[in-house]
Structure formats: C-alpha cells, structure tokens
Amino acid sequence: MSFQVSQRSVDTLPPELIYEIFDLFGLEEDIELSKRNIYAISQTNRRLRQLALHYLCRSVELSWSDVDQLASRKCGTDIDRTITNKVRDLSLTCVDADEHLVPAILKRLRESKGFHYFSNLSVLDLTDTCIEPEDLANFGISVSLQALLVVWRMEHGFPDLAKWPQLSTLAIGIEMVGTPDRNLSLFQPVSNSNLTRLYIDEDHCELKGERDRSFRVGWFSKMCNKITLPRLRSFTIHSTYGLFAQIYDFIQRHPSILDVNISCGSRSLWLSFEAIIKLIEGTGIWSDDGTAHGPRDDPEARSEHPCWAFAFTRVPDTTIDHQNRYLATSLVLEQAVDGMQDWDVIILEDFLRLGNLRVFSKVETLRLLFTRCEESGGPFATIMRMVANELKCWPSLRSFHLAMFLTWEVTWEDLPESLDGLLPFFDEAMPMNECWSERLYTLLDLFETLDNLPPFANLPYYPQTREQKCKMVHIIYTEISKTLNIPMEKLDMEDAAILMTFWYKRHRDKMAALVWHIGAECKTLEEFVWYPHAHWVDRNRMRNKWSWVFGEPDGRGGRVAEDLHEWVERSDAPDDLTRMDTTVGEMKNFLEERWDRKPGFNPTKAYWGP
C-alpha cells in the first residue's frame, strides 16, 4: 500500500481561510501598528513565519517582567536564543502592573550567573526606569551596541561605556533625589574615542511632591572638564542649571562638535547672544585656567538679545587654516523677556540685522521664538514688512520659522468702533485654552467667560451690564456667522475648531500678501513658517501653524507661494499641539526616528520652546 504525502501550502489554502487569518491577527493590539500586516501574513505559513521573524524581531518592546522570565530559565532554550539574538533595537518598559516589581527584578538580574540574551543589540533603550551602574552591566554581552538611552542618577557621574567599544550615541536623562552626596568633580577622567552623539536632559524626572529647585546643580558642568570625547559631533544639554562657562569650554575643547542644543533649566536664567556668537565662531575664551590670552568671556553677561535656549549647526571656515573657526548653517533661538529691564527689550528687526555678520553668512535655516513684538511698533503688517527687508541680510537663508505673540498692542488693522472692545474675545491669534488644561476653548467657553467678567472700571469698552454682555455676544455671533458663511443657528457651541477657523479666514488673505512681499524681498527663501499665538496662553503651546513654500517668479517681482496651513481642529490631547521644531543636528534626526513611534521619555519634544 502506498501513502500519498500531503503537499499543502499557502497556494492550496482557501482564500476565505487566509482572509480570516488576516482579520484575526491584524487586530492584535500587542503588535506595533506598522507591523500588524506582516505579523498577520506570518501566521499563514511556517516558511513565511520564519522569514517574518527576522523583520518582526529587529525592534521589540518588552516589559521588565518579560526579561525576568527569560533570566529565570537558567540556560534558556534554543528558541529563546534564536529569537533574542535577532533583536537589534530593544526597549524595556515599566507597565503599571510591574512598576513596583522592577527593583526586585533588577536585583535578581544582578544576582544571576549571567544574562545571556540580546547579544546582538544595536540600540538599547532603558529610559522607562532609573538604572544603577551594576544594572547597566547586565547588558555588557551586547558588545555591538551602538546607541544607549538611559535614565541615570546624578551621583553616579558619567556612565562607564568600556563594555561597548562601538557605542556612538548616548542619551541620558538625569534624575536627582534630594541633594547629591558625592562631589562630581572628584570622579576620574573619562575618555571615549567612539562617541559621536551625546544628549543630556538634566531635568528628566518630575519627582512626587514638592521639589526644591534651590538644590538643583549642573550634573554635566560639574565634571565636564574631565570628559574628553575627541570624535563628538552632536552635543545637546536641556534644562541645565549648570555653569555655562564650563559647558561652553567643553564645546570649545572639542572642535569636532558641529551641532549644539542648549536650554536653561529656569526662566530666571538667561544667556547672552553675543557670547553665543563667539561660541559658534570658536573665538570665545571660557576657561579660567590661566592659559588663555585676554579676559574670560561670560555666557550670562548683560546682553541686548538675551535668550533662554538656543541651537545651531556649523561648518568649519575653510578660509582660516591655522585656527578652529566656524560658520553657522542653522540657528534656533528662544528670546527671553520675562523680568527684563528696558535695556533688554528685544526688537525683532534689530536682531535680524545681525545677519550681516560673517558668522551667519551660510545660515540656511533660522527659527525664532519671540514672546513679545509690540516694542517693534506699528501694526503687524508694518512689522512684517520690516522683517522682509531685514531678511535680505541673510544671504543664504532658505527656511525661516517665526513664532511670535500677537498682543492687543500689535493689531492687523483699525477695527470698526463696534468691534473695538471685542478684540480680546474673538480675534486672538488662537483661542484661549482652559486654565490648567490643554482643552481648546469653544464658543460656549468663550461666552461663559464673557458672562463671568467683572466690571473693568478703567476699561469702559468692556461690558459693564448684563445688557451690554448680551449685545457683545450678538456681535460676536454675527461676525463669526458672516465670516464662516454659517447661519447663526447652526454654529456648534462646542466645536473647538470654530474659533481657529474664524481667525484663519479673517486673516489668511492679509497674511498671504505679506508672505508674497517676504518672498519678493528675500530671493533665496524657499520656506516661511509662522506660528501665531496669543499672549495669555502658555507660550510653550501652539495650535496654529501657517507655512508657505516659494516657487518660481510670478512675473510681478515676487514668487508663487503655496499655502500649506495646518492647525489642530479637534483635540483634547497636549501631544497633538503644533510645535516649532526647536532642535537641530544629528541627534535630532536619530531621536525623531525613534520617538515618533514610542511614548514616554521623549527628547524630540523639546523641553523648551513650543
């Protein structure tokens, strides 16, 4: 008797069965959305499953409980090793259920005879819990590691990276508990010839309860004079309370650094833009070791252009051979105004005239966050025409981003007398947000606010009586209905998009004309992005983003400008707010790629600016 061997494959399966498999496994919520399709396909056939495994295991996210189970298997199974050795990008997370168990898990891992998994990692992300040095050593088996992201207690000093000879990227979130009991300056010198990208966030962990910021110290600045990274190209330090002279000196000692991102940890600190120019050029004297010629520069000196944060990229100045000198290629700046004196007032067009400096002759990207502009004087259109004229000072400029408060002192035009007192209520650059929350204001919120307004003795155009308030509500309704071409009875009182759409339609044509003028004046400009926002909303939150891309000349002395306006129509989530891109360089690109798909410790959502 002969037996017929069944030759079954995907080709012989009924289509209905394959569709059912796709439907079943395509809804698997534990699988990252971008991988669900290939996961569903892998369930149809053993051969496809083997092939898909290589792809699906390249980047995985596990809980610490999963790792604990692996470690408890002593020698482990062949399947365990086969799968874990395929992983290249590993993120370990603390889910709510096992967060309190993590210390015990870490202790068991330290006591185990050896952690033999994940030997081929390229990226290791441990930012979901604070790691001790001995815990980090558990992953020493991954000698091919190229990028490490970790949360670190400040008293541990700089991590020992000797186990990973190929490590080129390090991102550290610093956690402080109480006051440091170790002198960071006493640590041994550190040298690493492979590290090219360094990211530090010195205010990563918001601890429970009140936090005394008077104890804040600069983790990196306390020991950076003993750190040498000869191949470092990208350096970022956010929310630092440190000694800026020490940080600037670190940058100066590393001529290989070509992109920098720095932000202050407190609004009571501000930095001199004149000193930043020297930092970019490579001409500053920041060290007080007695070897420098001339007086030491002060990063926090009195300045006409103080700022809270800045970022830049630069290239070597090839016209100067005997010294390390640089020219900026991009510049991001958040101007400081809170608590400033009269001599500190920032005038936008005055700042733009600095484009004539040689150090900015190659700047292609310029992003400015100005918290006030009323000192520039005149209506907004006049200010923007001045901006257009001064942008000619930037001969290589291709992309210009501007975030700016529009206050009542800076108006678009003279309003009719009937609308004069209504400007704060319906003509803000973006709708108000509810106090202490991110929820957008609706018409209902606006009218409730108006109804609860107390009388303003010194502002007679504000509503003083119930009758005046009702009249004002009617005027607002009429104006919005006319502008949006929607009958008043059909206006949705709870639609958060209405106020934004109304503001956009009122001012789009006026702004487009100004943008056309900017394009005509600045011939090199390819992109103009504007983030209008109101004065009484948190300055770090923006919901409007208007962008234009310039094309060929239009025959009228200007260039065609394509409107790419964006705004958040309906959202209660802070993460959906439009933000200005406030980081630059290699580290920005690396972190954006990772954190666009992962929540939690997120360096690309800048800790300063919008």
Q: Between the CA of residue 168 and those of 88, 124, 171, 588, what are the distances in Å?
A: 15, 12, 10, 14
How sure is the predictor about 106, in pLDDT bands with cuts at 50, 70 and 90? confident
Quickly count: other Cβ atoms within 10 Å of residue 581's Cβ: 18
pLDDT for 445 equals 72
The one-letter amino acid at 67: V
How sure is the predictor about 278, in pLDDT bands with cuts at 50, 70 and 90? very high
- Residues paired with 93 in a beta bridge: 63
Distance of CA 133 to the CA centre of its chain: 28
How sure is the predictor about 572, in pLDDT bands with cuts at 50, 70 and 90? very low
From CA 290, how far away is CA 285, in angstroms rounded? 11
How many domains in the chain?
2
pLDDT averaged over the chain? 74
How sure is the predictor about 178, in pLDDT bands with cuts at 50, 70 and 90? low
Residue 471 lies in a domain: yes
Last residue of a domain, one of 494, 518, 545: 494
Count the alpha carbons within 13 Å of 394 in the hemisphere toward its beta carbon.
30
Cβ atoms 297, 278 nearer than 8 A: yes
Q: What are phi and psi of 109, to 5 degrees?
A: -65, -40
Residue 33 lies in a domain: yes
Strands (E), 396-526: 399-406
Which helix (H) or strand (E) is 330 found in, with range? strand 326-335
Residue 29 lies in a domain: yes
How sure is the predictor about 314, in pLDDT bands with cuts at 50, 70 and 90? very high
What DSSP character marks residue 268?
T
Over residues 147-165, the pLDDT tens digits come to: 999 998 878 888 989 999 9
pTM of the model as a whole: 0.81
pLDDT for 461 equals 55
Burial class of residue 322 in the structure, from the number of CB atoms within 10 Å of its CB (0-12 exposed, 13-18 middle, 19+ buried): exposed
Residue 288 lies in a domain: no
pLDDT for 90 equals 87
Residue 446 lies in a domain: yes
Residue 468 lies in a domain: yes
Residue 519 lies in a domain: no
- Residues paired with 310 in a beta bridge: 262, 333
Residue 359 lies in a domain: no
Last residue of a domain, one of 439, 474, 494: 494
Domain boundaries, position 39: 10-50
How sure is the predictor about 280, in pLDDT bands with cuts at 50, 70 and 90? very high
Cβ atoms 176, 154 nearer than 8 A: yes
Over residues 492-510, the pLDDT tens digits come to: 887 767 777 777 787 788 7
Q: Is the pLDDT of residue 409 over 50?
A: no
Conformational region of residue 352, where left means phi above 0, alpha means psi within -120 to 50, and beta covers everything else: alpha
pLDDT for 156 equals 85
Over residues 318-362, the pLDDT tens digits come to: 887 767 899 999 999 887 665 444 434 457 888 899 899 999 999
Q: Is the pLDDT of residue 514 over 50?
A: yes
Lowest model confidence (mean pLDDT) among 9-13, 62-66, 483-487: 9-13
